[in-house]
Amino acid sequence: MNRERFIRDRRQDWQQFESLVARLKTTRQSKWANGDVTALSRLYRSICYDLSLVQSREWGARLEQYLNDLVAQGHNCLYRSPPQSVRSVWDFFAVGFPQLLRRRYKPFLLALALFLVPLLASVWVGYARPELAELVAGKEQIDQAIESYSKDMYTSADSRYSGERSRMFGFYVNNNTGIAFKAFAMGVLVGIGTCYVLITNGISIGIIKGAILAEGNPTADNFFSFIISHGAFELTAIVIAGAGGLVLAQGILMPGQRTRGDSVRFHGTEALKLALGAGGMLFVAAMLEGYFSPLPIPSIIKYSVGSCLWLLVVVYLTVSGRERTTS
Amino acid sequence: MNETHKRKVDTRVVVETPEGVDFQFVIAGPGTRAYAWFLDGLIKFGILALAGTVLSVLGVFGEAGANVVQGLMLLAGFLMDWFYGSLFESWMNGQTPGKKSAGLRVVRTNGTPVDLTSAIGRNFLRTADMLPFCYTVGLISMLMTRRMQRLGDLVFDTMVIDERREWISRTAGLTATVEPLVRSECPRRFSVPDRTLSVIERLFEPDRIISDARREEIARPLSEALRARLGYQDPAPDPRNPHTFFQAQGRKHTQFILRVLKTFSDDPEGAPAAKSVAQSSPAAVAKKQLPDHRSARRVATRKSSSLAESADDEIVDVDGEEFFHAIPNPESGSSGSRNPSGGSAS
């Protein structure tokens, strides 16, 4: 076969392929006709063959470039990633996420320690050593926190607060989820950034808690009844996102049997899933914090609902998705 | 793919498909990516400003309304910060609006389109790449990797490719030192076919160990045939400095075919011959030539659709076939199987 014969014979297929790809590009994947798909894969394979023929016989740069373009287009058309559906999001939260977290319990426990130890230590500091607490967190900040929970601000039935709540909801999503995603992303700096985010957040939360405990009722009652419900989701999610960052760091530092690049890619995807799951939990937390926690209802109801929510989170993370693995 | 292939210093990356075919991508550099990033920043800002205006017009109902507007704006800001890039990249097959106008696309390193998870991941890791300021970490990472990947790309196995390919890079190193042919030097109209050009390229391949003198010898028949086709005449020696002329005699054929290669190889900048006419001749001629130049440029940029037709032209061009045989094939060893002067005797 010489070059001219080759071009003459194959040109029709090339043009057909070109128009087919152009048409399929503009239509949705679910609306592709059966014949189109068969024709696409047949033509694609034959054009791949044409390209390798042209490459091996060195039939000119322009012809090679043209076929290369065709192959690239067809490749993009055929090897598209499957469209994401609402169903797959549901599956992720119901099954994939809790399963993944249970498999990665070690980084989770480490992140929990990195968060909880500074938190408990600083609760003690805030409670027993107020002068040290002021050094760490700043006097104004502590006073402001105590001030805002000393009044019955969150229990007043003023209509004004319904709008306030929406603003706070937006703020919580923006701020808290941002912190969680940052805790994950900083894991790529071999985990140093993640540890920093976890520890500093643990300290700042702990100091406030300790200072408010020292203040006594009713401030403490207002405060703890306020945070117990959304805390179930919020604190857990921050730790999970931190665990994601540690998984990423583990991929870099401890590749095991894989090459370092492969290890980073494998662990990175799992770490990202942990962070996204944490993001979902933080969205729930922000809703609770915005609309439920400040409700003007007796604190005993908040405590009981909050305890139920803690139980719910623990059960969700330990049980959900189990039956599917065994069946 | 052998080692020497990988060590090439250029921005092309070869990807092998499951069908066993290699094809090439051009990797996008930091400059283009920064430009796309800047455009995306403007677009994000524009979206937020628009949303803010619309919402505040809708939210004039007292203080509660203003609070709701603030809440929604915070939500929108959050989405823009963390999901703008990833949502666009997964919906528009690897492109954000900024990347699209800069001609960039995110793909996986095996050439397949980026999926939602990778798109989200690589955009989340921007936080780390931005540290400590102005993407310093990302820039260092890009300089250290062959595919110019920042950390987010490395972890999620993606790369950013430049789709405005520059095919000229294939011969640029070879022809950097020579001038393209000027129309006034070549009175006869003849277009050198692709096959002849690739033969010239093969003659200059770096792994072909030929002495310059031998290369000159091999180049002679092809050079003479091409000279006859183009009607090219060597310029007379400069009487003030005849020394350079006689020095150049020893490699005039290799120089000539390199000039041919530079003139006729596919160039996205437009046909160089026409361009040099525009430079070297009086304004009137330049004006007349300009439309040609433009159409050549257009053909070059939308090559893919027009090649099927232009390939047809080459079938008619039987002369090209003769040139192909005019050069002694160094591989088959059947050197000079055809009389080279036969090509020029038509």
Percent of chain B exceeding pLDDT 70 equals 65
Kindly determine whether residue A80 and residue B311, on different chains, have CB atoms separated by under 8 Å: no
Give the per-residue SS3 of A153-219: HHHCCCCHHHHHHHHHHHHHHHHHHHHHHHHHHHHHCCCHHHHHHHHHHHHHHHHHHHHHHHHCCCH
Lowest mean pLDDT among A217-221, A298-302, B143-147, B212-216: A217-221
Vertex A138 angle, CA A136 and A140, to 5°: 160
Residue of chain B with shortest Cα separation from A272: B121
Q: Roughly how many angstroms between the first and final C-alpha of chain A, as a whole number? A: 58
Vertex B219 angle, CA B216 and B223, to 5°: 120
Q: Within this chain, do residues A154 and A73 fall inside the same structural domain, yes or no? A: no
For residues B340 and A4, the model is more confident at: A4
Rounded average pLDDT over A262-284: 93
3 state DSSP class of A279: helix
Kindly determine whether residue A66 and residue B197, on different chains, have CB atoms separated by under 8 Å: no
Rounded average pLDDT over A278-297: 89
Q: Within this chain, do residues A137 and A39 fall inside the same structural domain, yes or no? A: no
Q: How many domains does chain A have?
A: 2
pTM value is 0.68
- The pLDDT tens digits for A228-271 are 989 999 999 999 999 999 999 999 999 989 999 899 999 999 99
- Exposed/middle/buried for residue B178 (C-beta within 10 Å: 0-12, 13-18, 19+): middle
- At residue A163, the pLDDT reads 63
Vertex B158 angle, CA A177 and A36, to 5°: 110
Which of A78, A99, A118 delimits the end of a domain?
A78
- If we measure between CA atoms, which residue out of A125, A141, A110 comes closest to residue A206? A125
- If we measure between CA atoms, which residue out of A320, A319, A317, A321 comes closest to residue A236? A317
Which residues in chain A touch residue B128, judged by CB atoms under 8 angstroms apart?
185-186, 188-189, 193
Percent of chain A exceeding pLDDT 90 equals 41
Residue of chain A with shortest Cα separation from B151: A188
Minimum distance, in Å, between the CA of residue A296 and any CA atom of chain B: 18
- At residue B325, the pLDDT reads 38
Rounded average pLDDT over A191-216: 90
Assess whether pLDDT exceeds 50 at residue A39.
yes
Q: Are A292 and A230 in contact (CB under 8 A)?
A: yes
Joined together, the tokens standing for residue A215 give 């203040």
Can you tell me the distance from the alpha carbon of B71 to that of B112, in angstroms, rounded to the nearest whole number?
A: 39
Q: Within this chain, do residues A99 and A14 fall inside the same structural domain, yes or no? A: no
Q: Within this chain, do residues A99 and A28 fall inside the same structural domain, yes or no? A: no
* DSSP string for residues in B249-274: HTTHHHHHHHHHHHHHS--TT--HHH
Q: Within this chain, do residues A211 and A248 fall inside the same structural domain, yes or no? A: yes
Assess whether pLDDT exceeds 80 at residue B5.
no
The rounded mean pLDDT for chain B is 72
Which of A78, A101, A120 delimits the end of a domain?
A78
Kindly determine whether residue A61 and residue B127, on different chains, have CB atoms separated by under 8 Å: no
Q: Within this chain, do residues A160 and A224 fall inside the same structural domain, yes or no? A: yes
Assess whether pLDDT exceeds 60 at residue B316.
no
- Exposed/middle/buried for residue B42 (C-beta within 10 Å: 0-12, 13-18, 19+): exposed
Q: Within this chain, do residues A138 and A206 fall inside the same structural domain, yes or no? A: yes
Q: Within this chain, do residues A54 and A141 fall inside the same structural domain, yes or no? A: no
Rounded average pLDDT over A153-178: 72
Which of A34, A50, A78 delimits the end of a domain?
A78
- The pLDDT tens digits for A307-324 are 999 999 999 999 888 865
Assess whether pLDDT exceeds 50 at residue B292.
no
Structural domain span for residue A159: 86-326
- At residue A269, the pLDDT reads 92
Residue of chain B with shortest Cα separation from A18: B305
For residues B164 and A48, the model is more confident at: A48
Which residues in chain A touch residue B20, judged by CB atoms under 8 angstroms apart?
48, 52
- At residue A203, the pLDDT reads 92
| B214-247 b/e (C-beta count within 10 Å ≥ 16 → b) | ebbebbbbbbbbbbbbbebeeeeeeeeeeeeeee
What is the ipTM metric for this complex?
Answer: 0.80
Percent of chain A exceeding pLDDT 70 equals 93
- The pLDDT tens digits for B18-42 are 666 667 788 998 999 999 999 999 9
